[in-house]
Structures are given as C-alpha cells and as structure tokens.
Structure 1
Amino acid sequence: PILMKLTYCILFLLIINTAAAQRVVVRDPMISGMLEQVSATHLEQTIRKLVSFQTRHTLSDTLSKTTGIGAARTWIKSEFERYNKDNGGRLKVSYDQFVQPADGKRVPEPTILKNVMAILPGTDPADKRMLMVCGHYDSRVTDVMNKKDFAPGANDDASGVAGVLELARVMSKNSFHATIVFVAMVGEEQGLYGAAHLAKRAKEEGWNVHLLLNNDMIGNSYGMETDLKDNSSVRVFSEGIPAVETKEQASARQSAGTENDGTARQAARYIKETGEKYVDQLQVKLIYRRDRFLRGGDHTPFSLQGFTAVRITEMNENFNRQHQDIKKGQESQIGDLPEYVDYTYLQKITRLNLAVLGNLGLAPQEPDEVLLLTTELTNKTALKWNAPAGVQPSGYYVLIRETSSPVWEKKFFFTETSAVLPYSKDNYFFGLQSVDALGHESLIMTPKPGK
C-alpha cells in the first residue's frame, strides 16, 4: 500500500507539472496559409538561377544578359515584376540607383550601383510603418577584387535573396496595414554600400523603417570544424544599446537599468516568440551582439541611422563555403556551391521571416506615450499609455520578466489604457504592446518613467 501511494503521488506530481508547462498556441490561419506556400523547390530554383550568372561581384559585367551583376539585378527585378503582374499589381518595383564614389580600397573608380526593391503598400493611411526585409545579391571569391572568376555565392547570400523573393511572391497576394519592403542589396562585400545608401535615403526622406530583417547566410546547417549539424536553430543578432543614443537617453537608460531593452533587442524577443509560434521545429537563439564577433552586415547602416535592425543568420557557419575560390580541398570540395545549401532549412528561416512580417504587418501600431508611473513609492507597478493611431487594438498586453530573464515570462491583458500590477518595478522589467482580436501583436514598447 505504501508503494502504491508513493506511485500515485509521483503520477499526480507529474500530471500537475505537465499541466503547468502546457501552453496554448493559437495561429492565424491566414499566416499559416502563407507559410505553407513557401516552397523549398522555388528557393532552390532561385539560388541556382543566381549562381548561373557566374559572378555577381559588385564590379563585374553590367552589359551582358547572361553573366555578371548587371544580368543578376535585371533578373531579380523581372522576378519582382512577375509577382506584381501575377498578384494584381500590388507591388511597386524599382531600382534604388546611386553612384558609389571611389574609396581607394574596394571601389577603384566611381561605379553605378543598384539595389532592387519591391514595395507592398500598407492599407491603413494612418499607419506609416515600413517593415523591411533584405539579403545581398553580390558575391565574391577569396580576392575581394576578383570580378572575373566563378563566384557562385549560393549561401552567401543567394540564400537571403531567394528568401526575400519568395516572401515577395507569397506575401504580395495579400494586404497588410503596414507597408512591407523587399530589397536585394548590392555592394555588401565591398563595404555595405547598398545598405548604407538606402539607410541614408530612408533617413533623409523620413521613412519610418519600423524594423529591418537582414537575412545573410540562411541556408547552411553544417558547422565547420565542430561537425555540428543543426537544421532546427537560427541566430538573431541584436544590439542592446542603440547606436545613436543621446546623452539624455543614456542617462535615462542607466537610471532605469534598461541596457538590455533597446528597440533591436525588443524586436529580437518578438521574432523569437512569433517565429517559434508559427514555425515548427525551429528555435530562435538570441545573440546579444549587433553581429558576429568583429563582423558586420547590411543591418548595421540602418542601426547607425537610428532604425531598428537585426541580423538573421544560420546557427553554424562553414567557412569553406564563404568567400572561397572554387577548388578541391584535401578532403572535400571548397566553394559556395548550390549543392551544399540545405533547402528545407532555408525554407524554415524564410517562414520565420514571413511569420514576423505577417503578424506585425497585420497588427495595430504600438501604444503611444507609455509611462511607468513614479508618483509614489510602492511595491505595485502602475502604467498608463495612449491608444495608437490607425486601426484600433482590441486590447493591450503588459509584459513582465525578471531582470535576469532574456525573454518575457508573463503577459497580462487589459482593455483600458492603464494598468496596475502587484509586481515591483525594482524586481521586474515591463513592456507594452497592442493586440487585435486575432492575436496580431505590435512590437514591444519599453515604458519611460513618468508622473
């Protein structure tokens, strides 16, 4: 009897623990339907087509119809135009053309460069958010100035461009409150020149680039040297402290201890929650750096202009597939060739992007003037805010997490524009987001101290 009672107690505890760990996942059928349309076959076809141009070096041939960066960008633009025609003229397709001056390093003479863009305008006139997704279409071999030799760039970064094209193909069939911008960037390997130009243009023209997702190398699932094979994890790099922080903002951050709550870091948390909700067998790893150690990417110029920007990239890298001349090594083929891309893994990461863009594009805008009230000393936390412009939310989530937690731990739903919670602001961080009746959530706002 004692053994039987002990067995029942253990079973009861297991049931209680299992129930406590259960989490209901609710997916929007519209977003799930779009995810199903993301095709590994289409992604592979795009990569092989980009590789067929032999080299997409920034300084390569612009006159040939079959070889070089000129032929590549013409084809990318034609694909955007085909999606536009197939989907009822929803996309605005263009070149973002500029002259890159000689830099005495990787650009020996003034050169005409072109980013390729397709814009899906939002449907809410009061919603000025622009959600941007990009990859770079230029490629290189070992010598960054070698513009002649075969530089397939299948993973770096035809994979990112294939993802962007596939997103445009699928998402342009639908409408969103916010504007979505699909970009194939140029000049990344020469010095992030395409992204730097577009970020500067966005700043000067007053674009509200609400979030930029830079996809650079998202198709390799094998880790060189470590022999790790991982097709279920992806890294999101995000800076904690904004690059353009003012002295006043730095002082406020230091007082509140919110060095881990910059807009890019908050966006990364959003990407993790949303992506893992919609994409099966994928874990989003939050990397607390702007980019890999001492390295950079096309999100960096946007960060430097004050926009929220993150990098999405494969979990493990194979350096035999990056910036390499095509040759036979001692044990294997070296070079960034299409046969080494994991297309189902690329499909997952493309779906991650779609889930984030779709959920955010359908969500109401963030609440405005979010304040954490400091009128009196109390072990409760009071917040107030204003409703956003445009499509109105059904309510708001107040998010909380312990100060040592990398992700949000609890969400409390409110329909009013104020809330009081029995959690001390000394011991927790707080965030606020809008949500509609279908569960589409805005990005998270970090409250400011106020009265």
Structure 2
Amino acid sequence: MIKSILTITALCLSTSAIAQQAAVPAPETQVSESSLRSMVEALVGFGTRHTLSEQDNPVRGIGAARRWAEAEFRRISADCGGCLTVQLPEQMIQGNRVPVPTRLVNVLGVQLGTERPNEVVIISGHIDSRVSDVMNATADAPGANDDASGTAAVIEAARVLSRHRFSTTIVYAVLSGEEQGLYGGRLLAAHATAQGWTVKAQLNNDIIGGTRGSDGVIDDAHVRVFSEGPRADSTDAYRASARREGGENDSPSRNLSRFIAGLSGPQPGLPTVRQVFRADRFGRGGDQLPMQEAGYPAVRLSVAIEDYDHQHQDLRTENGTVYGDTIDEMDFPYLARVTALNVRALAALARAPMPPAPRVEGAVSVNTTLSWEPVVGAAAYRIYQRRTDERDWRTLEAPVSTATSRLSATLNGIRVDDWVFGISSVASDGSESPVASAVPGGAFAPLPR
C-alpha cells in the first residue's frame, strides 16, 4: 500500500519543528509564581468584586477591579511595543440575580495574529466574587480562588505570550457577572459573533488555585478539564443524525479537551489533565457554557478537588471551622503549573491552523472514504481513528489523494461501522490543530441554523 504523501509530510514537519523549538525556551517555562501571587493579592485587596458593588470607587468594588485589569493589559502592551489592543465590550443587564439595571463590562486584551488574525483562541477567567448570599454586594468577598486565580492566569498568560508572535489571534478575557448568572460569558459570546471571529477554542479558567478538598484530601498533580458531549447548539436534525451515526462523544469541545490532555503530564512543571466528560461540575456552571451555546469550542479548567468551605462563603469561624475564599487557602506553585498548561495550550493552538471539517462515507462497504476541504494555513493533514468505545485517538496512515477543491482518503479494508475517524491540520512549522471528528456536528464552527 502506498503511504499518504500528506501524512508523511506532516510527520517530517513535526520533526523539524521540534528541532527549531529546542533552541527557544518554551513559553510555559516563563510563568512566574510570584507574579501570580501579587495579582491575586491585588484582586483580593479590592474588598469585594461583586457585580452589583460600587462602580466608581477608586479602591473598592467591581469598578476598581476592572480598571486594574485594564491597566495591567495596557502595561503589558506598552512592554511589547503596543502588541495588545484593549477592548471593553459592555451592556446594561437586568434579570435573575440582577434586580436593577447594571452596567456590565468585560476587559479584553487582543493580540492580533500575524497571518490569520480572524482566527481566535481565547483564555478567560471571571473577575467578580461573592459570599454566601449571592445578592450581598457590600460584604467583603475576597474571591481568591474563585476566581482571582483564573483572572491572574489570564493576565499572566498575556504577559508571557505577548513576548512571542503567533499566526492567529489570542484574546485574553477578564469577564464580569459570572456569579450572577454567566452574564460575562454571554457578553463574550455575543462580542465574538459581532466581531466575526472564527473561534478555535476558549479555555475558561475558574477555580484553579487550590489543592486541598473540604475533607482534607489533597491532589496537586491533576487539573480537571470539563467538556460537553452533545453540542449545546445542536438542532433536531443534527441530534437525529448523531443518534444514527454517532457523535455523542465527539463535539469540538470534547476534542479540544483531548488536545489539552495530550499536552499535559507526564511533563515537568505541568499538571496531568483529568478529563471530565461533562459540560461542568454536577448542577453547576461557568462562562464556557454560553460560548458552547453559541457554537464555539470551549472547555473549563478547574482544580482537581474543590474546597467548599472556601468558596461562596461569608468570612467567619463556626465550631472551629474557618470559612471564606481567602488567599491563605491557595497553593501558588499549583496555580503556576495550571497557568503554564494554559500557556502551552494557547501557544499550540495559536500556531496551528483551524481543524478541517471532515466527512465520512462507507456504508455497506469494506472501505471507508474521508473527505475535507483544504484549510488555510495547512501544509499537511493527519488522519486519526478511534474505536467507538475508546477515549483517545490513534494516528492512522492511509492513502490520500489531492484534488483542486477537495482532499480525500480511502482506507482500504477498514469498515466504517466499527470506528470513529478524525483529521487534524498541520502547519508548515509542524504545529498541529486539534482533531475534528468526521461525525454530524464535528466541525469547529457553529452549526447552521
């Protein structure tokens, strides 16, 4: 059997890229634990960052915290010669947990890509905080782990990655209004759509700075990555196709989770990803959910084990138990490792092309045929397969033919009934995209309505 020219090219490019990258320190090695600590301390210092707290006080409340985040992005931009553009999308909100019209503002730092600036990778964390009563906008709500940790990771990623250049755009997003009902995530999704962004991925970081659970169990080796199975933006037609042909475990978000897991342990300085095949923790949510509802690939990164005594709690001591989301309960070496994983994933995603949108045929046949349109920025492609009851992809070498308008591969002697297939795009420097599954709704794009 003649091997795929495209597959062989991709393998050679990857080897070359590894040799080139060995001479340059990896961005994730530049993450600073002390920088993260100082940012969490600054955020806790605003007293409360409740969405309904003061907007105009210079030292306390959500307004002061937002302006601090904006100033951090502007400082980073000044250091990199103006490489970041600050955007402040806002809207007036009112509804559940927001009884009066309230100004909601997200703070974005946008680092334009050098080749395909409309392709966007997003890292996000929410800046607002709360205590036991979600409507209490005046009590001290330090929100150290939930979610000063995620906000600090976003800004630290901007500091580190702004020193490098990437083919596609990175958006560093500090979101408001999460605790009141994911308002900041909805505003981010609406802004991405209005900007016409092709969103490759959102990495939402929410509670990423602790390693001890409420029961005293410690896990400092893992980070959880949550991803949806069936797509949130699915239609009746796509759901019907997925029931017949598969795809319940192959949404773009699920493949993004697999991609991040492949970048993690055992790696020095990085936690090992524990994939959780669920959109979020049981009965709870985060700002990745509105992005998924808009059709964008998105995952949530969160600590391996949560401490419920130190999140969403009034500052108090009862029966010898200390409650409250305070900085002394955090593990900053762990936060640095989770931030480093984010930086590694962002860099990999921002260098790679978009994944293809593969199609598969082969009913009543001993052969399987894959086809896909060429991807801008792709010099080669890799084909993957997975048993329907397996979690992870395996590389498949196969003959690939090239046509002017379409690429295709026929897999002789491989029956489509028993496998799930996927394809990734590979750039000329060897950077590889996540795998896109050849299933209904497997493409990294919102579904047509």
- Measured against the shorter chain, the TM-score band is 0.7 to 0.9
Look up the match of 2:390: 405
Q: 1:371 is matched with which residue: 355, 359, 371?
A: 359
Q: Choose 162-171 or 279-288, whichever is displaced more.
A: 279-288
Look up the match of 2:59: 66
Higher relative contact order (CA closer than 8 Å, sequence separation 6+): 2
Q: 2:156 is matched with which residue: 148, 166, 171?
A: 166
Q: 1:433 is matched with which residue: 416, 420, 424?
A: 424
Q: Quick one: which amino acid aligns to residue 219 of structure 1? A: G
| Separation in structure 1 between the aligned mates of residue 124 and residue 97 of structure 2, nearest angstrom | 22
In the TM superposition, residue 41 of structure 1 has moved relative to its aligned partner by 0.8
Q: 1:337 is matched with which residue: 317, 326, 333?
A: 326
- 1:384-441 superposed Cα distances (whole Å, 9 cap, x missing partner): 323212x232x21111121111111335387754333343322221110012354311
Q: Quick one: which amino acid aligns to residue 129 of structure 1? A: E
> Within the alignment, does 1:195 sit opposite 2:195 as a pair?
no
> Within the alignment, does 1:274 sit opposite 2:263 as a pair?
yes
| Separation in structure 1 between the aligned mates of residue 93 and residue 212 of structure 2, nearest angstrom | 36
| Separation in structure 2 between the aligned mates of residue 202 and residue 334 of structure 1, nearest angstrom | 38
Q: Quick one: which amino acid aligns to residue 385 of structure 2? A: I
Q: 1:154 is matched with which residue: 113, 119, 144?
A: 144
Q: Quick one: which amino acid aligns to residue 188 of structure 1? A: E
> Within the alignment, does 1:143 sit opposite 2:143 as a pair?
no
Look up the match of 2:4: none
Look up the match of 1:392: 378
8 Å contact 2:246–2:439 — kept in the other structure?
Answer: no
Look up the match of 1:97: 90
In the TM superposition, residue 128 of structure 1 has moved relative to its aligned partner by 2.5
In the TM superposition, residue 67 of structure 1 has moved relative to its aligned partner by 1.1
Change in CA separation of 1:203 and 1:281 when aligned onto 2, cut-off 3 Å? closer
| Separation in structure 2 between the aligned mates of residue 367 and residue 91 of structure 1, nearest angstrom | 29
8 Å contact 1:115–1:185 — kept in the other structure?
Answer: yes
> Within the alignment, does 1:311 sit opposite 2:300 as a pair?
yes
In the TM superposition, residue 327 of structure 1 has moved relative to its aligned partner by 1.4
Q: Within 5 A, what are the aligned runs for 1:247-258?
A: 247-258=236-247
8 Å contact 1:278–1:352 — kept in the other structure?
Answer: no
SS of 1:76's partner is helix
| Separation in structure 1 between the aligned mates of residue 287 and residue 396 of structure 2, nearest angstrom | 33
8 Å contact 1:279–1:352 — kept in the other structure?
Answer: no
Q: Which ranges of structure 1 fall in alignment gaps of 5 or more residues?
A: 1-23
| Separation in structure 2 between the aligned mates of residue 32 and residue 442 of structure 1, nearest angstrom | 21
**Percent identity for Structure 1 against Structure 2:** 38
> Within the alignment, does 1:216 sit opposite 2:201 as a pair?
no
Q: Quick one: which amino acid aligns to residue 40 of structure 2? A: I
- TM-score computed with the length of structure 1 as normaliser: 0.87
Q: 1:302 is matched with which residue: 291, 315, 324?
A: 291
8 Å contact 2:250–2:439 — kept in the other structure?
Answer: no
| Separation in structure 2 between the aligned mates of residue 405 and residue 436 of structure 1, nearest angstrom | 27
SS of 1:82's partner is helix
Change in CA separation of 1:435 and 1:316 when aligned onto 2, cut-off 3 Å? same
| Separation in structure 1 between the aligned mates of residue 338 and residue 397 of structure 2, nearest angstrom | 30
| Separation in structure 1 between the aligned mates of residue 362 and residue 371 of structure 2, nearest angstrom | 11
Look up the match of 2:101: 110
8 Å contact 1:31–1:355 — kept in the other structure?
Answer: no
Q: 1:327 is matched with which residue: 287, 299, 316?
A: 316
Q: Choose 79-88 or 279-288, whichever is displaced more.
A: 279-288
Change in CA separation of 1:91 and 1:279 when aligned onto 2, cut-off 3 Å? farther
Q: Quick one: which amino acid aligns to residue 432 of structure 2? A: E
Q: Quick one: which amino acid aligns to residue 49 of structure 2? A: R
| Separation in structure 2 between the aligned mates of residue 439 and residue 423 of structure 1, nearest angstrom | 28
Look up the match of 1:11: none
- TM-score computed with the length of structure 2 as normaliser: 0.88
Look up the match of 1:350: 339
- 1:226-264 superposed Cα distances (whole Å, 9 cap, x missing partner): x32111111111111111212221222122122111111
| Separation in structure 1 between the aligned mates of residue 352 and residue 273 of structure 2, nearest angstrom | 21
In the TM superposition, residue 200 of structure 1 has moved relative to its aligned partner by 2.2
Q: Quick one: which amino acid aligns to residue 99 of structure 1? A: M
8 Å contact 2:104–2:184 — kept in the other structure?
Answer: yes
Change in CA separation of 1:29 and 1:95 when aligned onto 2, cut-off 3 Å? farther
In the TM superposition, residue 205 of structure 1 has moved relative to its aligned partner by 4.0
Q: Quick one: which amino acid aligns to residue 106 of structure 1? A: R
> Within the alignment, does 1:45 sit opposite 2:38 as a pair?
yes
- 1:155-176 superposed Cα distances (whole Å, 9 cap, x missing partner): 0000000000000111111111
| Separation in structure 2 between the aligned mates of residue 94 and residue 235 of structure 1, nearest angstrom | 30
8 Å contact 1:237–1:286 — kept in the other structure?
Answer: yes
Change in CA separation of 1:165 and 1:92 when aligned onto 2, cut-off 3 Å? same
Look up the match of 2:168: 178
- 1:298-326 superposed Cα distances (whole Å, 9 cap, x missing partner): 11111111211111111100001101111
> Within the alignment, does 1:383 sit opposite 2:376 as a pair?
no
Larger radius of gyration: 1
Q: Choose 77-86 or 92-101, whichever is displaced more.
A: 92-101
| Separation in structure 2 between the aligned mates of residue 106 and residue 250 of structure 1, nearest angstrom | 33
In the TM superposition, residue 182 of structure 1 has moved relative to its aligned partner by 0.6
Q: Which ranges of structure 2 fall in alignment gaps of 5 or more residues?
A: 1-14, 402-406, 441-449
Change in CA separation of 1:399 and 1:303 when aligned onto 2, cut-off 3 Å? same
Look up the match of 2:9: none
In the TM superposition, residue 373 of structure 1 has moved relative to its aligned partner by 2.8
8 Å contact 1:275–1:356 — kept in the other structure?
Answer: no
> Within the alignment, does 1:239 sit opposite 2:224 as a pair?
no
Change in CA separation of 1:210 and 1:355 when aligned onto 2, cut-off 3 Å? same
8 Å contact 1:131–1:357 — kept in the other structure?
Answer: yes
In the TM superposition, residue 276 of structure 1 has moved relative to its aligned partner by 3.5
Change in CA separation of 1:78 and 1:281 when aligned onto 2, cut-off 3 Å? closer
8 Å contact 2:51–2:180 — kept in the other structure?
Answer: yes
Change in CA separation of 1:30 and 1:373 when aligned onto 2, cut-off 3 Å? farther
Change in CA separation of 1:134 and 1:31 when aligned onto 2, cut-off 3 Å? farther
| Separation in structure 2 between the aligned mates of residue 117 and residue 413 of structure 1, nearest angstrom | 43
Q: Quick one: which amino acid aligns to residue 124 of structure 2? A: C
| Separation in structure 2 between the aligned mates of residue 155 and residue 138 of structure 1, nearest angstrom | 11
